[in-house]
Amino acid sequence: MFNIILFGPPGSGKGTQSEKLILQYGLKHLSTGDLLRTEIASQTPLGLEAKNFMDKGQLVPDEVVIGMISTALDANSKANGFLFDGFPRTKAQSEALDKLLKLKQTEIGVVLSLQVSEEELVKRLLNRGLTSGRTDDNNEEVIRERIAEYHRKTSAVADHYQTFEKVVAIPGEGSVDEIFESLSAEIDHRMSAHTTFR
């Protein structure tokens, strides 16, 4: 089993690249943003609670998202590996994920960190907000708050995995295909090392 965290600020291309990577590598895509939006669409109590935070550009409480990921891991016990998108987003979430994976006798293979300038992030998200219907995309103040949350709380996730030398920075500006090639080259390299040492 080979597990990947696709890491980066809001709008860095995690969702776009995830769609291509899961096809290429046969991984199960776990996006906490998508899981939360499904809960909101179904108007569950969890979704209604989460919406309050998401509409303001703030992170949803750790226990909510950790619970969702734990359920998703159990529901996909036969997966070849997982591609985590938008999770973990705090140090507490990283530590919880490491424990959950250890229980399944696996671990994170690599953290691919997409690097995109703030102005490009804002431009992409405002542009998507014209058509996406996402309430957190159509207001620049909320977009900048999401980016600020990333710097306040989420960049610590990269520090956590850097301790284990698992973080690789990938330029996230350019064409979608060019970025996909850079990500794939790094995954191929890490996967072959993983197989060699097993």
Neighbour count for residue 107 (Cβ, 10 Å) = 15
Q: How far is the CB of 10 from ligand AP5 (least distance, A)?
A: 3
Determine the Cα–Cα distance for residues 150 and 113; give it in Å rounded to an integer.
13
Please tell me the distance from the alpha carbon of residue 193 to that of residue 110, in angstroms, as a whole number: 11
Q: What string of DSSP letters covers 80-135?
A: S-EEEES---SHHHHHHHHHHHHHTT--EEEEEEEE--HHHHHHHHHHHHTTS--T
Q: Which residue is nearest to ligand AP5 (CB)?
A: 33
CA distances from 135 to 45, 51, 77, 155 (A): 19, 10, 33, 24
Q: Which residues bind ligand AP5 (CB under 6 A)?
A: 8, 10-16, 32-33, 36, 53-54, 57-60, 65, 86-87, 89, 93, 124-125, 128, 136, 146, 176, 179
Q: Which is nearer to ligand AP5, 60 or 187 (CB)?
A: 60
144, HSE (Cβ side, Cα atoms, 13 Å): 4
Of residues 21 and 86, the one with the C-beta less far from ligand AP5? 86
Q: Taking a C-beta distance cutoff of 8 angstroms, is the pair 88, 157 a contact?
A: yes
At residue 171, the 3 state secondary structure works out as strand
Comparison of 156 and 194: residue with beta carbon closer to ligand AP5: 156
Considering the complex, what minimum distance in angstroms separates the CB of residue 135 from ligand AP5? 10
Which one, 74 or 192, has the nearer CB to ligand AP5? Answer: 74
Q: Whose Cβ is closer to ligand AP5: residue 79's or residue 147's?
A: 147
Q: How far is the CB of 139 from ligand AP5 (least distance, A)?
A: 12
Q: How far is the CB of 136 from ligand AP5 (least distance, A)?
A: 6
Q: How far is the CB of 33 from ligand AP5 (least distance, A)?
A: 2
